[in-house]
Chains A and B, each alone.
Chain A
Amino acid sequence: MPQQFLAQGGAIPMPQIDYGAVMPVLIVLSAAAIGVLLEAFLPKHQRWSVQVTLSLAAVVGAGVALGAYLSGAPDGGVTTFKADGAVAGAIAVDAPTLFLWGTLLALGLASLLMIGDRSLEPGGAFVSQAGLQGGGLQTRERANTTGMQTEIFPLSLFALGGMMTFVAANDLLTMFIALEVLSLPLYLMCGLARRRRLLSQEAAVKYFLLGAFASAFFLYGIALLYGYAGSVKLGAIAAATAGTDRSDTLLYAGIALVVVGLLFKGSVGPFHTWTPDVYQGAPTPVTGFMAACTKVAAFGAMLRVLTVAFEPASWEWEIPLWLIAVISMAIGAILGLTQRDLKRMIAYSSIAHAGFLVVGAMTLTEDGLSATLFYLLAYGFTTLAVFGVISLVRDANGEATDLSSWAGLAKRSPLVAGVFTFLLLALAGIPLTSGFIGKFAVFSAAIDNGNAALVVIALVASAIAAFFYLRVVVLMYFSEPAPEGPAVSVPGAFTTAAITLGTVATLVLGVLPAFALDWASAGGFAP
């Protein structure tokens, strides 16, 4: 390598960049950078409005750029995107990438709306100074003063930009950098809850420590794979796997470590241990953002890595992933039954859903890919709306997430209970919701691929999981309300918009899913 550089006289050749293709990422990341500058220069009382405007405009602008690129594509059709990586092979803007970008931007927009909401809690769901310790009367007073840490907006944009890069990364190093860009802001965001500071800070530390471990695994895996293949490019690893006499130990260990890193981010059991605590402790809008967008990013990247780099070695990782899918579904479904806190319950539900997603991700057929992409889209909207609704039900101490306080909710606010019931039925996978179509698509792809036994296990897990969703429905409709139960806040425009978006998407994707299934099956990964 050094000789090469010398031969070129030390000059590094300028890579060819297709700016149109990567414009959405550039917009999001530069808006994030501008947001940081605004924090430094704007007076405190102006920050919130400017930051909200900037970040919403950035996400919408990125969406417009994505749309412009789609319509300006060579043949005007969705299927004919450049198959070759746009930026010297480090980023591949292919059909799945575009689908995932669209998904991430839509979910990111809804999350930002929830993050920006100030109607439910005076001053927003976030603390005014991240350094505030938990406990103590003084702290509580200061925490309750209006004003919020507006860095949350650039942080969200950085995370979003990182996720978009993550799903498009075509070599492992880019992927690692994107992983860090998306993770570090999330660690911080978890610690910013206005109420229950200690839980929030505990969540942040726990997520950071375990996330750092996972990143280290991932990086070590990259090193081993580089040692095996002599390259970090996904395509080159696949080429090296096909028929060589190199050490298989390096390959297997490398695959294992890289995949473990990804499974951690996707909160797949048994690498899920951070999920319940972090989901519970983080401010609810951030939890929604993590549950929806991080899952999309992690599984988007996993799909690409498994398909592009590791497909030739599929017979090596199929059985372990099979087991992991079963473990994740079992942990999510069974431990979900025992939860008393709604946010923790949804966390276990997300672990069960991660298991279903693994079933889809390990099905390396066209149908498997499109089914998993659709599932991600559907699940993201539903879970985001779920957290939106959870943020509405409040008592004097903030959100009332204990299950018992939701008893009899339908009597007091039938609309909220109705929407929440619909969303829970979607999570359970009842027909006419997006959750069902997602499950159906994934399971039919898996059966088609000869994995019927796994599908039967998944179906049993779905039925078990349905029990704890139903338990909430039972509580809301058939139980008497507690005398001093929580009140349902009337949401402001932002949260209303986010919940409506999520609910409508859940319904539309459940009743008329054909258009989204078409998008999802527009094409495969670039080699």
Chain B
Amino acid sequence: MTILLAIILLPLVGAAVVAPLRGNDRLATATALGFSLATLALVVPLWLSYDPDGARLQQTSSVDWIPPFDIHISFGIDGIALLMIAVIGVLVPMIIGLVGVTDKLPEGRSAGGYLSLILVQQSLTIAVFAATDVFLFYVLFEIMLIPMYFLIGGYGGRSRQYAAVKFFLYSFLGGLIMLAAAIGAYVQAADQLGEGTFDWQTLAQVVPQAPLTTQIWLFLGFFLAFAIKAPLVPLHTWLPDAAGEAPIGVVVLLVGVLDKVGTFGFLRYSIPLFPDASQELAPLVLGLAVAGVLYGSTLAAGQRDMKRFIAYVSIAHFGFIALGIFAFTTQAQVGAVTYMLNHSLATGMLIIVIGMVIARGGSTTISAYGGMAKLTPLLAGLFLIAGLSTLSLPGTNSFVSEFLVLIGSFDTQPVFTAFATVGMVLAAVYVLWLYQRVMQGSLRGDALLGAAGGPGAVEAPETGAKKTIRDVSWRELAVLTPLVVLVIGLGFYPKPALDVVNPVVGETVSIVSVTEGSNE
């Protein structure tokens, strides 16, 4: 058994152990935390054993599953998948650490069910990044929706049912269309080799030979699924609802990790399988990407709800990532891949900090807060770090990625890049304005001062604020410290991430440029 398989299976075992612990929330949380930390510990040897200059897929393993269709259960990782798996490994213990403190479950719900769903989600998400059989990828892509559906629908806010169903149906439809395209790729293989297959490596050699029109149709099938997942405008409308209703930990998982499956899909499936079509349709994708940057940024600035704010920030960032991927230069694509990592860390941190604000004030409305820094100076400082990383200030991790994306894309796509740069300015607007409204100025807002008569409306005599509002607790600090270290550390020393990513990206870009050369 490879380390990779162990990483996929361990959270599942954890879920099975945690699920029956319904009566005892503390024990369930501790057990789940133990399993997630053990999984994180396994990521270390996985990272160390990965050879950036070795074969494209490493840690491979394969078992027959459905022989009549030549379908295998096969896993393996490349540098991009490794990064994503590492991020999941880092984020899940934090999500679990927040349960019961920042992330309060609805009345009458035990933590056991919630935590086991989180662990199942972790396992499936790792598996989806590790799958090297296109059919298996599709299966996991759809199965992955089920725990998330129950997480949003079972533990979310007031209109959680609507959000859960909308989330599920969008992704399910996208997945089905992708299935049709995957079958199309299978048929292409059958035409050329005499025998169909879903093996990614074989398909990556066979499908690019297909005629351009076929490639374009198949590309569009995959693209729809990934564009819904990653959300690109105009297929994004499920995300603000889902993120607005889901509990904070689930939002971290959803925005930080799950949505990356979309951009990962562009890199692993869309471009290597359909290089000619990727070239042909790049302007379309770039157009959507830049539209996403501008639209997401503008709407983020106009949000009244903090959780929906995060969703629109992410839509803007996914625009940047898509721009970097489809600019087809190594620099831009390396930027995009590290952006996937850094967005998870920076936005993940921002979500957690906002979750802490909401847990204290009990409201998600921005205007219910004001001057909070006076009550919780440490939380305000952490909020600022997360915000500055989100707006890509030099010295934070996101700056490296965003800079690489823009400078790399400018070579090939100057017009699109020029528009996207406006997004950087808008990012400063929406982040700083949010910080100003929530943290600075005189103490104000219903959430902090407490409406008369409500529970927790006991006022502290000297400030008039609710007594319940305290600064960051030790446990919350323990969750956030690693993130602060990563955000600033990767800002000054991004080399470890770049090293892992560079060879894979070089290969992906070369696929496109080689076919481009042969076309001319």
Chain A residues with a Cβ under 8 A of chain B = 425, 430-432, 436-437, 440-441, 443-444, 447-448, 452, 455-456, 459-460, 462-463, 466-467, 470-471, 474, 477-479, 513-514, 517-518, 521
Contact of A467 among B143, B149, B154, B169 (CB under 8 A): B169
Q: Is the CB of A448 within 8 A of B172?
A: no
Looking at chain A's contact residues, the main secondary structure is helix
CA distance A429 to B177 in the complex (A): 13
Count: A-B pairs, CB below 8 Å: 84
Question: Does B154 lie within 8 Å of A463, measured CB to CB?
Answer: no
Q: Which residues of A contact B140 (CB under 8 A)?
A: 431
The answer to whether residues A463 and B187 also contact, given A455-B180, A478-B154 and a CB cut-off of 8 A, is: no
Contacts of A455 in B (CB 8 A): 180, 183
Contact A432–B169 (Cβ < 8 Å) = no
In the complex, the answer to whether A452 meets B180 with C-beta atoms within 8 Å is yes
Q: Once the chains are docked, how many angstroms separate the CA of A463 from the CA of B224?
A: 14
CB-based contact A447/B183 at 8 Å:
yes
Residues of A contacting B164 with CB < 8 Å?
474, 478
How near does chain A come to B361, taking the closest CB pair, in angstroms? 26
Expressed in whole angstroms, the minimum distance between the Cβ of A42 and any Cβ of chain B is: 49
CB-defined A-B contacts under 8 Å, sample of 17: A431-B139, A431-B142, A440-B179, A441-B69, A444-B69, A447-B180, A448-B190, A459-B177, A460-B176, A466-B172, A471-B165, A477-B150, A477-B154, A478-B153, A478-B154, A514-B68, A517-B66
Closest 9 CB pairs of A and B: A431-B139, A463-B173, A459-B176, A444-B183, A517-B68, A478-B153, A447-B183, A431-B142, A478-B161
**Residues of B close to A456: CB separation below 8 A:** 177, 180
B179-195, CB < 8 A from A: 179-180, 183-184, 186-187, 190
State A521–B165 Cα separation when bound (angstroms). Answer: 37
> At the interface, yes or no: B168 with Cβ under 8 Å from chain A?
yes
Interface status of B268 (Cβ within 8 A of chain A):
no
Say whether B295 faces chain A, with CB atoms less than 8 Å apart: no
Which residues on the A side are within 8 Å of B180 (C-beta)? 443, 447, 452, 455-456, 459
**Bound complex: CA of A437 vs CA of B138, how far in Å?**
12
- The answer to the question of B54 belonging to the interface, with a C-beta cut-off of 8 Å to chain A, is no
Interface presence of B461 (CB below 8 A) = no
Cβ of A514 and Cβ of B67 under 8 Å apart? yes
Which residues of chain A have C-beta atoms less than 8 A from B142's C-beta? Answer: 430-431
- Whether the pair A462, B176 counts as a contact (CB closer than 8 A) is yes
- On B, residues with C-beta under 8 Å from A are 65-69, 138-140, 142-143, 146, 149-150, 153-154, 160-161, 164-165, 168-169, 172-173, 176-177, 179-180, 183-184, 186-187, 190, 217
Return chain B residues, CB-CB under 8 Å to A462.
Answer: 176
Complex CA gap A427/B280 in Å reads: 38
State whether B169 touches A431 (Cβ < 8 A). Answer: no
Assess whether A467 is in contact with B165, with CB atoms less than 8 Å apart: yes
From A447, A459, A463, A477, contact of B169 by CB (8 A): A463
**Complex CA distance for A376 and B437, rounded to whole angstroms:** 61
| C-alpha spacing A154/B217, complex, angstroms | 54
Whether B146 and A425, one on each chain, are in contact in the complex, defined by CB atoms closer than 8 angstroms, is yes
Give complex CA distance A470, B153 in Å: 11
Chain B residue, CB-CB nearest to A441: B69
Q: Compute how far the CA of A432 lies from the CA of B139 in the bound complex, rounded to whole angstroms.
A: 7
Task: Evaluate contact between A431 and B177: CB separation under 8 angstroms.
Answer: no
Bound CA span A452–B183, Å: 10
Q: How far is it, in angstroms, between the C-alpha of A474 and the C-alpha of B169 when the chains are bound?
A: 13
A463 adjacent to B153 (CB under 8 Å): no
State how many angstroms separate the Cβ of A523 from the closest Cβ of chain B. 14
User: Could you tell me if B184 and A474 are in contact, using CB atoms closer than 8 angstroms?
Assistant: no
Distance between Cα atoms of A59 and B51 in the complex (Å):
61
Residues B165 and A470 in contact, CB atoms below 8 Å apart: yes
Which residue of A425, A437, A474 is within 8 Å of B161 (Cβ)? A474
